[in-house]
Amino acid sequence: MGEYVEIRTGVSEIINIANGLRSRGQQLEGGIAGANGEIASREGAETLPRDDDFAEQFVAVYFQKVPGVDGQDVDANVAVRESATKMAAKLTEIGDFVAGGMFAYSAGDDDNATNINNTPRA
């Protein structure tokens, strides 16, 4: 048997929130793409000189191998950029999932109401 679901706000309000999440995810994705490009363009030797004591220590950590979003080892700087991109995509995906779920819930609720209303009365 199914579980009882009670929505205390309107379905349309939840869909609006889901669409807001989706929109924020898309905005974040665009911002991250720009930031990632800017970061990658500044990772050269002129920004991170290899003959500086501090920079040498920093570069060792910055480029160390760590697990990436797909589980494969990548440089730490790449892992951070990939994670940010994945996070934005997941936020968009969550918005889509919630909105789709609410549309399905609403359709099911409407069908059930129709079935109840069409039930012969004794």
Crossing angle of helices 11-41 and 76-117, in 10° steps, is 170
Ranges of each domain in the chain: 11-107
* Total length of the chain: 122
Q: Kindly report the average pLDDT of the chain as a whole number.
A: 88
pLDDT above 90 covers a percentage of the chain that reads 52
* Residue listed under structure tokens 């807001």: 20
Going by their DSSP bridges, the two strands 73-75 and 65-67 should be labelled as antiparallel
In the predicted structure, residue 6 carries a pLDDT above the cut 60? yes
pTM of the complete model:
0.70
In the predicted structure, residue 58 carries a pLDDT above the cut 70? yes
In the predicted structure, residue 101 carries a pLDDT above the cut 80? yes
